[in-house]
């Protein structure tokens, strides 16, 4: 095998690199505390169960995170889990195992400026088996990010190939019509983000209607915001030519975000 034109002794590659055979989560450490660790670990467990793969010992991962927190009190941490090394071919051979990788980056200040958005031209494929999971197969998001840059927008609202609203490029979406809040079903495509999960579980917005909606439904929204563990909460000002009547974050959601810092 050769890497960057130079021969190496090993003939095996990580299956995460070969096939995207793995999953990940991205969390934050804020003021020395791991934010929402239990939710992130449950996400990794759910993905491993669905992909029929292994996980490292939780205590080993958490110990490393605590070490990181002691030297980087405000950081973005990405945990990648793969099925381990393998030779060519899709078939899984040998004893079950995994590789896990952890990277860190600086946690930047979160920007809550209202976003200029539009519906993406690129569509997500529907695959119910992987729906909701954060697998390593992120080529769709790479293409969407390129489209966002090309179109000069702050963000894109992404549809699947059935023309159903799913999410933003790397965030989940909530919108309000009248007094009713909505968020998309994620049973065909998309990622079930941690912030989305907790907003729904904590009933922050009241009884949110989780539904399959088309562009016409969200185009009548009065208020829209996006949510992501790293980027935080971001209000939407426009979707195409439609301007929100309220282009700011709901007060209840802002207060919840500031208070929800359990580890």
Is the domain of 234 the same as that of 155?
yes
In a domain, 5, yes or no: no
140: domain CATH number is 3.20.10.10
Confidence of residue 262 (pLDDT cuts 50, 70, 90): low
Is the domain of 96 the same as that of 163?
no
Neighbour tally for 137: CB within 10 Å: 16
Is the domain of 97 the same as that of 119?
no
Higher pLDDT, 1 or 167: 167
Of 144, 152, 143, nearest in space to 115 by CA: 152
Calpha distance 194→207 (Å, rounded): 18
Structural domain of 57: 11-106
Is the domain of 99 the same as that of 166?
no
Model pLDDT for residues 184-203, shown as the tens digit of each residue? 999 999 999 999 999 999 99
Residues annotated as catalytic (active site), given as ranges: 26, 134, 167
In a domain, 2, yes or no: no
Calpha distance 73→59 (Å, rounded): 20
- Beta-strand ranges (E) seen in 54-154 are 75-82, 85-86, 99-106, 115-119
Question: How many structural domains compose the chain?
Answer: 2
Of 90, 84, 150, nearest in space to 120 by CA: 150
Contact 165, 124 (CB under 8 A): no
Is the domain of 81 the same as that of 121?
no
Is the domain of 123 the same as that of 224?
yes
In a domain, 3, yes or no: no
55: domain CATH number is 3.30.470.10
Contact 36, 194 (CB under 8 A): yes
Is the domain of 60 the same as that of 128?
no
What is the pTM (predicted TM-score) of this model?
0.93
Model pLDDT for residues 125-158, shown as the tens digit of each residue? 999 999 999 999 999 999 999 999 999 999 999 9
Is the domain of 40 the same as that of 70?
yes
Is the domain of 95 the same as that of 72?
yes
Mean pLDDT, rounded, for 44-48: 97
Counted residue by residue, the chain has a size of 263
pLDDT of residue 96: 75
Is the domain of 136 the same as that of 253?
yes
Is the domain of 87 the same as that of 180?
no
115 pLDDT above the threshold of 70: yes
Contact 3, 12 (CB under 8 A): no
Nearest 5°: phi and psi at 47?
-65, -45
């Amino acid at each position: 095998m050769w890497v960057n034109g130079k021969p190496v002794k090993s003939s095996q590659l990580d299956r995460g690199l070969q096939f995207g055979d793995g999953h990940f989560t991205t969390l934050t450490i804020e003021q020395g505390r791991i934010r929402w660790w239990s939710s992130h670990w449950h996400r990794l467990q759910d993905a491993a169960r669905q992909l029929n793969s292994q996980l490292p010992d939780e205590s080993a991962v958490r110990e490393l995170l605590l070490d990181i927190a002691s030297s980087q009190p405000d950081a973005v941490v990405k945990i990648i889990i793969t099925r381990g090394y393998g030779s060519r071919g899709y078939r899984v051979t040998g004893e079950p195992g995994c590789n896990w990788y952890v990277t860190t980056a600086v946690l930047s200040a979160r920007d809550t400026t209202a976003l200029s958005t539009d519906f993406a031209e690129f569509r997500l494929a529907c695959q119910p088996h992987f729906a909701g999971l954060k697998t390593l197969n992120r080529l769709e998001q790479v293409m969407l990010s390129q489209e966002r840059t090309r179109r000069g927008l702050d963000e894109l609202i992404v549809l699947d190939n059935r023309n159903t609203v799913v999410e933003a490029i790397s965030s989940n979406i909530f919108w309000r019509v009248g007094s009713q809040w909505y968020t998309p079903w994620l049973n065909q495509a998309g990622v079930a983000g941690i912030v989305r999960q907790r907003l729904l579980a904590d009933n922050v917005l009241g009884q949110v209607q989780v539904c399959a909606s088309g562009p016409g439904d969200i185009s009548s929204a009065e208020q829209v915001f996006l949510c992501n563990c790293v980027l935080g909460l971001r209000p939407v000002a426009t979707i195409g030519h439609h301007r929100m009547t309220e282009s700011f974050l709901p007060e209840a959601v802002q207060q919840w975000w500031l208070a929800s810092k359990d580890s």
